[in-house]
Structure 1
Amino acid sequence: MIAALGWGLLAASSLVLGALLGVLRGWGDRVVGVVLAFGAGALVASVTFDLVLDGFSLAGAVPVALGLGLGALAFFLADKGVERMGGREGGGSAGTPLALGALLDGIPEQAVLGIGLAAGNGISVSLLVAIFVSNLPEAIGSASDMRAAGRPRRRVLLMWVGVAVVTALATLGGFSLADVVGPSWQAGIQGFAAGALLVMLTDSMIPEATAKAREVAGLATVLGFAVAAGLSAFS
């Protein structure tokens, strides 16, 4: 359990690092877009190899398919709620919508890290890298926007520390949940996380990466996929 929390904190630490980078200096859209595209490619590989295929091996296609549908619907509905609060646009008047947006992305990702540890599979290096990299541009962009709006640096950093702690606790939650449910439920949870991540990638992460990185977005995405797929094969 301590190991699960430690790995969760490591994965979530990029939120704090991104916020720190965002309040210290401005970052061009192209740089953020390239990092975003790389992280998107890494997440696609992790969804494929660490969530869906692993779920198939645990309990077959049916629990994974059910989880995929439920995860996609849950993320879609929750994301619409965050959008109405202004959280996905970076311009909400309070820090809460931005924090909700980051939690919406981070909780299913990191819960799966804990599930893998509880199942005795060890840490998924490819998923860990994908989470770490994909967190950076979101935190950088949001922290930069908040600083530009006049928020004190300390307040911005404290908010992102809080987000990182809560998402890290999701790893612990996944570990605890996997301890008390069978393979079918574990496969369904992995499918749920995969469905949520695929909707996030399609609706938010990849379009934003393409808009910011322009012609190099595809290349960065494939490189991210290749790195994560390689790490998955060797982990």
Structure 2
Amino acid sequence: MINLTFSQIYMKMSKCVSNRRFIVYNFKADFKKGLLPNCITFVGVLMILPIILARRAGMFGSSLFYFVVAWFCDWADGHFARKFVMTSKIGTFLDPLTDKAFTWSILIDNWHRVPKEAAVIIMITGLLATIGRIIILIANRNPAVNIDIMAGMAGKYKTNFEKSGLVALLLADICGKYIHYEWLVDLFMFISKLGIWLSIPLAIISFLSIVMKLYKIYHEPA
């Protein structure tokens, strides 16, 4: 009886080690598959700190340049992933996650200048959507059922509205420092707030799409 128990324990431990190796292997293979898009995504993330530091140093032109580079990276990672069939599960999760990290960082850094109610809604819906994506990845154990966790059209338009609003914010800084036309500064500030507010309904729709995918996993037969 004791030998049988030890044998069972050994078998379970061996199975756990085997599963762990399989997971690590899958992670490496998946990351390698989407290597180029994932590297582009990380480059975009690395732009966050230069954007903030340049703005705080009064180098608004440089801050805007870094922002445009990050926005280009956001477009390029998805473009290359689709064009060269380099889509990976890691990439589909990292892309919206890095978008949120980017947007949240800039919003928090400009907290006194952005609509706080809108910023809070953006962050809460984004956080819940990210948690939902994690649950989908964990809960979907059936390889035959492919649940797409990439951002839909609502999520993409939401991101573009948010970033357009943040670009307008940086343009307001540039106008205030170099052009000195108050009406132009006010115009860009208005565009900034409008872009951020317009992203709210799209953020809610994007979150609800994640909720529907969760419902599909838990309530529809495999």
Settle same-fold status: TM greater than 0.5: no
Higher Rg:
2
More RCO (CA 8 Å, sep 6+): 1
**TM-score grouping bracket, smaller chain normalisation:** 0.3 to 0.5
TM-score (normalizing by structure 2) = 0.34
